[in-house]
Amino acid sequence: MRIQISGARLIDPANQLDQVADIFIQSGKVVAIGPMPRDFVADQMIDAHGLVAAPGLVDLAASLREPGYGRKGNIASETFAAAVGGVTSLCCTPFTKPVTDTAAVVDLILEKARDQGFTKVYPLGALTQGLKGEQLAELVTLKQAGCVAFTNGLRPIVNNRVLRHALEYAATFDLTVIFQPQDADLAAGGIAHEGKTASFRGLAGIPETAETVALSRDLLLVEQSGVRAHFSQITTAKGAYLIAKAQARGLPVTADVAMYQLLLNDEELIDFSSDYHVIPPIRSQEDQQGLLEAVKSGVIGAIASHHQPQERDAKLAPFADTEPGISSIEILLPLALRLVEQGLLDLPTAIARLTYGPAQALNLKAGRLTVGSVADLVLFDPQQSITVGERWYSKGRNCPFMGETLPGHVRYTLLNGEIIYRA
């Protein structure tokens, strides 16, 4: 399939491109930008005047819920929701049933993704067997099967000797370890950010030290082991500061933040809506501002959806008894454009944190849109708005932005040079 995209504003932060140009696609790759190559005859023309063309979004943390949690979502439904939002590459978390700690589970995920998926899927493997924090999973075998990094998520590795051994082993084989820093003891029983709102509403709090204490330990062990580390779902301004200091010392660390942490703060909990129940919790307004500054500066180089679809019943109980998580992968780009609309980020920076930044963090072959690159891209109208929920493809409707009007309408998503979504 040969496709000509005419008149788009092309933004590719990886190559510092921001220009109006035609894009020519053949055999799944970008073959030219600007003048038409000789002997090129398009099978399909896309009039993209007024649209922005960007690399397909790269999401570092999405729960696809398969295998094991079919009521919440599956690979087909959640990758299609992702494609609707302009995502072409995503990392799926290992919190499946069974846990993604064997090559057989990885093979199952990748086979389903090939047969039923609408994006490229990169599995994250469990760092320890069963995520129990006791014995290392077969990390090299999992890498050979297709895992791009390893994590225990919020499941604690209490024994520091076990964690040190895991990091040294990973460093030996040049594996990336993903941390979600949260001290289990300090966070125990908590469901909201420890602050005025939680106190006023009688909600058990999780202090910022639950993140910073764990993060400090993890950074010290990263420095000792030399492992390449990514810190996922940073929620506090002090956490971002610790990441910045580590990067200044030359440690090989990157970080991401959940999109909703940049748009929400704990004052949203005033009406007890369970759609705001996430772990780690939505933090204070000061933390929200600190995270935005870290995103602007590049200390936090990636924004992720941290998509966790839940079935309807999971959010119907009182706040403390509901399951945490927000379903948001299909509005990842519109939420970013809200930050742009509010003047909190410029458009090239927002696109960088959704494409090149996450791809670079885990060394993924994605996040670029230049001659010779795979033609994974999104075309969107920054002037046209959407109403969240009017069309919704994820099986999880647990989204606090339902009914809101957001800027930006994805018109086309292309994967390997093929149109996989057209509005």
Domains contained in the chain, number: 2
Q: Among positive and negative, which fits the CA dihedral 210, 212, 218, 221?
A: negative
**279 lies in the same domain as 172:** yes
**What band does 29 get if pLDDT is binned at 50, 70 and 90?**
very high
- State which amino acid sits at residue 266: D
Helices (H), 202-343: 209-225, 237-248, 259-263, 285-297, 332-341
As a residue count, the chain comes to: 423
**161 lies in the same domain as 38:** no
The tens digit of pLDDT for each residue in 365-422 reads 999 999 999 999 999 999 999 999 999 999 999 999 999 999 999 999 999 999 999 9
H or E element that contains 52? strand 52-55
The tens digit of pLDDT for each residue in 90-143 reads 999 999 999 999 999 999 999 999 999 999 999 999 999 999 999 999 999 999
What pLDDT score does 270 carry?
A: 84
**32 lies in the same domain as 130:** no
What's the domain range around 39?
A: 2-52+374-422
DSSP code of 374? B
Can you list the positions of beta strands (E) in 244-330? 253-258, 302-304
CATH assignment of the domain containing 116: 3.20.20.140
**116 lies in the same domain as 168:** yes
Could you tell me which residue, 272 or 153, shows the higher pLDDT?
153
Share of the chain above pLDDT 70, in %: 100
The tens digit of pLDDT for each residue in 240-297 reads 999 999 999 999 999 999 999 999 999 999 888 999 999 999 999 999 999 999 999 9
CATH assignment of the domain containing 11: 2.30.40.10
**168 lies in the same domain as 29:** no
Which whole-number Å values give the CA distances from 305 to 169, 256, 323, in the listed order? 29, 10, 17
**234 lies in the same domain as 320:** yes
What pLDDT score does 271 carry?
A: 83
Instruction: Mark which of 351, 367, 383 sits at the end of a domain.
Output: 367
**305 lies in the same domain as 380:** no
**309 lies in the same domain as 349:** yes
**191 lies in the same domain as 298:** yes
Instruction: Mark which of 367, 392, 407 sits at the end of a domain.
Output: 367
Rounded Cα–Cα distance for residues 129 and 145 (Å): 16
**42 lies in the same domain as 81:** no
pTM of the model: 0.97
